[in-house]
Amino acid sequence: MILHHLRNASAVVQLAEHRLLVDPMFSEPGSMPSFRFLARGGQRNPIVPLPDATEAALEGVTGVIITHEHPDHLDRPGLAWIRDRGLPVWTNAVDAANLRRKGLEVRELVDGALGMRIETVTNRHGRGLVGWLMGPVAGYYLAHPDEPSLYLVGDAVLTDAVLDAIDRLQPDVIVAPAGTANFGLGDILFSVDELVTVARRAKGVLLLNHLEAVDHCRTTRLQLRARMAAEGLADRVFVPEDGEALRFDERTGTRPEPRLTATPRPGLQKWLTAKIAGT
């Protein structure tokens, strides 16, 4: 497996014959508003450009995975890029209908898709009211028979569902959001303490994203690396720079049966977040 981290949650993942673009946010710096809706000190987004390596990384992409339809995971240029190439888009039932309306060729990312064992893990993207407002979102466990297994956690705060997925599925590689995003109503992504818990619980490696790319994610790479080193976790926790490609070959051989989970249905929040996303 090669995981080419681009910016924020955007990455290209090479899994055997598949080259999957995950969560494309391709906007120029400053072309989206601040995401610190209810907090001071905002900046227009994204706050950094895409890395130089982007164009080469996007060559030969065979499909796209959208974890959820928020503007830092799919923006207008990302949408146009996919549409221009007619690439298949893999997502869950929450976002499928809306993405089809936007002219994308959408397929549901269910067990067996892409020749992989797949489990959808439902997330909380914040707690209390803000968690409700952010809408139902999910992450994916993807196990290709010839590759290390991968758990794309997607946007989440720490819940029993995430810990249960880590314990049960023992993914070789976990990709988790680490910016401690907050737009003024409480954290909507893992705190650094929660990431330490995730790293301790995981048997494989942890790769962190959502760093120094959008204005409501305030945790820095330096802070994270220092904390993980202090916890003795630096050898299993990767904090890539934008444009950095990492290769993972190690497989534990653990391949438990994915669990069939009920896919959350889109509700009022979906309409709300789609309005905010505005793609």
Residues that bind Zn ion (CB under 5 A): 72, 155
Q: Can you tell me the distance from the alpha carbon of 24 to that of 81, in angstroms, rounded to the nearest whole number?
A: 9
Strands 137-143 and 150-152, sheet pairing: antiparallel
Tell me whether residue 139 or residue 258 sits nearer to Zn ion (CB atom): 139
First-to-final CA distance of the chain: 31
CB neighbour list of residue 236: distance below 8 Å, 6 or more residues apart: 199, 202, 204, 205, 206
In eight-state DSSP terms, residue 38 is T
Smallest separation, CB 159 to Zn ion (Å): 16
Smallest separation, CB 170 to Zn ion (Å): 25
Tell me whether residue 72 or residue 172 sits nearer to Zn ion (CB atom): 72
Q: Can you tell me the distance from the alpha carbon of 141 to that of 150, in angstroms, rounded to the nearest whole number?
A: 6
Tell me whether residue 69 or residue 147 sits nearer to Zn ion (CB atom): 69
Cβ 42 vs Cβ 35: under 8 Å: yes
Smallest separation, CB 172 to Zn ion (Å): 23
Smallest separation, CB 176 to Zn ion (Å): 11
Token pair for residue 210? Answer: 């959502």
Tell me whether residue 1 or residue 176 sits nearer to Zn ion (CB atom): 176
Smallest separation, CB 238 to Zn ion (Å): 18
Tell me whether residue 147 or residue 155 sits nearer to Zn ion (CB atom): 155
